[in-house]
Structure formats: structure tokens, C-alpha cells
Amino acid sequence: MVKSEPAPHAIHFAAPPEFGGVEARWTPESLLLGAIASCFTTTFRALAEHSRFEYADLEVEVAATIEKVKSGYAFSEFRIRPKLSIASDKEQERGMHLLHKAKLLCLVSRAISAPQIFEPKVQAAHDVARVSQN
């Protein structure tokens, strides 16, 4: 269990089930992926607010590849896939710029030595609505 002074609820975690852990618990690996996604999200929000950039939604997916190495297992790469929904196509370039800037400034991803593949996507909100109707 992990507790933090500013957070009122503890996080219960275990090893992955493949290594004898409990099912339906956070693992240290999933906490790391969550830390990358949440750091990216909060960094982007701060940049957007500072830049007065309005957006409809931001979803961030983070995946990792783990490989067997001589000393055990190691992360061999991370994939960070932010999907930014904006109100107008006119803001696409600016949105992409802010996504890249958030990637550069995110403290957690800056602490990771494994390669990070960044796959940002910006789409106008009307495109999102059209996709969800199909």
C-alpha cells in the first residue's frame, strides 16, 4: 500500500499476476505508466492554460514493452499516444506544438532512460463526433 501526505486514499498494489501477484491490483509497472500519462496531462493543461489554448479533450495512452535481459526484466521502450480534440482545424498546428512541448517538459518522462516513441494526434471535435457515430 502507498500513501501520500496530500492524497487521502491509499493505493493498493501487488506484483503482476504472472509473478504471483493479486488480480485487479495496480502493479508497480502500471503505476509507472499512469505516472507518465498523468504527468503529461497535467503538464499539457498548464501549458494550454498559460497559452490560453482551448481544447475539447485530451486522452493519453501509454504502453510499454518489457523484455527479458541478463539481470531479469527491463522496459525496452515506451509509447506515449496523446489524442487532443480541438474545436477548430485552425488550431491543429498550435495544438501539436503544445503536445510536443508537454512531452519535453514532463518531469516523469524526462526521468526515464528507455526510448520513448511519441505518437501525438490532433483532431477537430467535429471529426471526433463523426468517428463516434460510425
CATH class of the domain at 27-133: alpha beta
pLDDT of residue 127: 53
pLDDT at 126: 67
Which residue stretches of the chain have pLDDT < 70?
A: 126-134
Domain ranges of the chain: 27-133
- Rounded CA-CA distance 62/38 in Å is 10
pLDDT at residue 131, as a whole number: 38
Q: With contact defined as beta carbons under 8 Å apart, do 110 and 80 qualify?
A: no
Give 51-63 pLDDT, tens digit per residue: 999 999 999 999 9
The C-alpha cell that represents 58 in the structure block: 485530451
Q: So what's the pLDDT on residue 129?
A: 43
